[in-house]
Amino acid sequence: MSALSIRNVWMEYTGQIVLERINLEIESGAFVAIVGPSGCGKTTFLRLLLGQERPTRGSIMLDGAPMPDEPGPDRGVVFQRYSVFPHLTVLGNVLLGAELAAAPLLGRLFGAPRRRAIDAARALLAEVGLAESEQKYPAQLSGGMQQRLALAQALICKPRVLLLDEPFGALDPGIRSEIHTLMRRLWRERGVTIVMVTHDLREAFFLGTRVVVLDRLRNRPEERQRYGATITQNIEVHRRRTPDADLESGRDDPARMDPTRRDDPVRQN
Ligand SMILES: Nc1ncnc2c1ncn2[C@@H]1O[C@H](COP(=O)(O)OP(=O)(O)O)[C@@H](O)[C@H]1O
Ligand SMILES: [Mg+2]
C-alpha cells in the first residue's frame, strides 16, 4: 500500500495553465475517484502521478519520497482503450507486464523466472475471469474482457499505486456493473492505492473511498488560458474494506440503484 501527497501542484503548457493549486493527500489503500468536466485536466493529473509529466510548480511525494521522474513498476496504469498490445495473446500481454518490470532492457525472462511469471500471470487471469481466454488475441475479446486484461496487465507487477483513466467509460451498463464488482474485489484483496478518473458520478461514489471534483473556478473564455482547474470538492465516502454481503450480491451496485436515492453515507470535508 502506498500514500501520495500532492502539494501546491501547478501544471502549465506553453501559455496555458491547466491545473493550479492542487493539494491532495491520498492515504495508503484509498480508492480516489476523480470527476470533472471534459478538458479540465484529469488526464494531465494522472500523467503527473504516473511520472509521465513533471509539475511546473509544487511537489508530489510517494510514501514520503519525491515521485520518481519516470513511470515505473510501482505505478500501474489502465486507459479507457488501447492499453493492451493487439499482436500479443492474453497470456502474452500479462507476461509482458511482468517481463518489462523484471528485465526492462531485454523485455524477456528465461527458465525458472519465466515459469514463475507464467504461473503468476495465469493466477491473475483466473482472478479477472479470463482463464479460458489465455490464448486469444485482444481483437477476439469483448470490450469488458479487454479492460479486465488491461487490469491484469497493470496488476502483475504488484504496483503500489494503480492509475485508471476512464477505464470503463466505453462499456455497456451491464458489463460495467460486473467489472465494478471485480474492481472492488481487486482493491479490497490487493490493498493497492487506486486513483481513477471517471465521468460517471455514480461510479465514483460506488467505488471511491474519496471523491474529488476538479473544475475551473473561472470559466470566461478570455480567462481560460490564465486560470487552471483546481479541486473544488473533496468528499470522503465511508466504506469498510472488509467483504460484505451487499457487495457480493451486487445489492448496492449503482446499476441497480434508484438514482433518486440520496442516503449514501457521504460526509463532505
Ligand atoms: N501535452 C500537452 N500539451 C499542451 N496542452 C495539453 C497537453 N496535454 C493536455 N493539454 C491541454 O490540457 C487541458 C486538459 O487536458 P486533459 O488533461 O486531457 O483533460 P481531461 O482529461 O480532463 O479531459 C486541455 O486543454 C488540453 O488541450
Ligand atoms: Mg482525459
Confidence of residue 240 (pLDDT cuts 50, 70, 90): low
Residue-wise pLDDT tens digits, 20-58:
999 999 999 999 999 999 999 999 999 999 888 999 999
Q: How many Cα atoms sit within 13 Å of 205 on the Cβ side?
A: 17
For residue 261, pLDDT beyond 50 = no
Query: Which of ligand 1's atoms lies nearest the C-alpha of 14?
Result: 4
Nearest to 218 by CA among 228, 203, 208, 209: 228
For residue 183, pLDDT beyond 70 = yes
Mean pLDDT, the chain, integer: 85
Distance 229 CA to ligand 1 centre (A): 11
Evaluate: CB of 225 within 6 angstroms of ligand 1. Answer: no
Q: Domain 4-74+159-268's class?
A: alpha beta
Confidence of residue 210 (pLDDT cuts 50, 70, 90): very high
Mean pLDDT throughout 70-93? 82
Mean pLDDT throughout 230-252? 67
Cell numbers given for 186:
481487486
Percent of the chain with pLDDT over 90: 56
**Whose C-alpha lies nearest to ligand 1, atom 27?**
39
The predicted pLDDT at position 81 comes to 65
Confidence of residue 59 (pLDDT cuts 50, 70, 90): very high
Q: Write down the pTM of the prediction.
A: 0.86
Distance 18 CA to ligand 1 centre (A): 7
Percent of the chain with pLDDT over 70: 84
Distance 177 CA to ligand 1 centre (A): 29
Distance 51 CA to ligand 2 centre (A): 16
Query: Which of ligand 1's atoms lies nearest the C-alpha of 36?
Result: 22
Distance 186 CA to ligand 2 centre (A): 23
**Whose C-alpha lies nearest to ligand 1, atom 23?**
39
**Where in the chain does DSSP place strands (E)?**
4-13, 16-26, 31-35, 57-62, 65-66, 75-78, 161-165, 193-197, 210-216, 229-237, 266-268
Mean pLDDT throughout 160-164? 92
Query: Which of ligand 1's atoms lies nearest the C-alpha of 165?
Result: 21
Nearest to 183 by CA among 254, 238, 235: 254
The predicted pLDDT at position 82 comes to 61
**Whose C-alpha lies nearest to ligand 1, atom 4?**
13
Sign, CA torsion 6/7/12/17? positive
The predicted pLDDT at position 255 comes to 46
Q: How far apart are CA 148 and CA 133, in angstroms?
A: 11
Nearest to 79 by CA among 5, 162, 3: 162
Evaluate: CB of 181 within 6 angstroms of ligand 1. Answer: no
Q: How far apart are CA 90 and CA 264, in angstroms?
A: 38
Query: Which of ligand 1's atoms lies nearest the C-alpha of 46?
Result: 17
Residue-wise pLDDT tens digits, 108-136:
788 888 899 999 999 999 999 999 999 99
**Who wins on pLDDT, 104 or 97?**
97
DSSP code of residue 99: H
For residue 141, pLDDT beyond 60 = yes
For residue 195, pLDDT beyond 90 = yes
Please give all residues whose CB falls under 5 A of ion ligand 2, grouped by chain where several chains appear: 43
Evaluate: CB of 44 within 6 angstroms of ligand 1. Answer: yes
**Whose C-alpha lies nearest to ligand 1, atom 25?**
39
Nearest ligand to the CA atom of 47: 1
**Contact indicator for 2, 62 with CB cutoff of 8 Å:** yes
Delimiting residues of CATH 3.40.50.300 domain(s) in the chain: 4-74+159-268
Give CA torsion, residues 215, 49, 30, 66, to 10 deg.
-120
**Contact indicator for 32, 195 with CB cutoff of 8 Å:** yes
**Whose C-alpha lies nearest to ligand 1, atom 8?**
44
Rounded (to 5) percent helix, strand, coil in the chain: 35, 25, 40
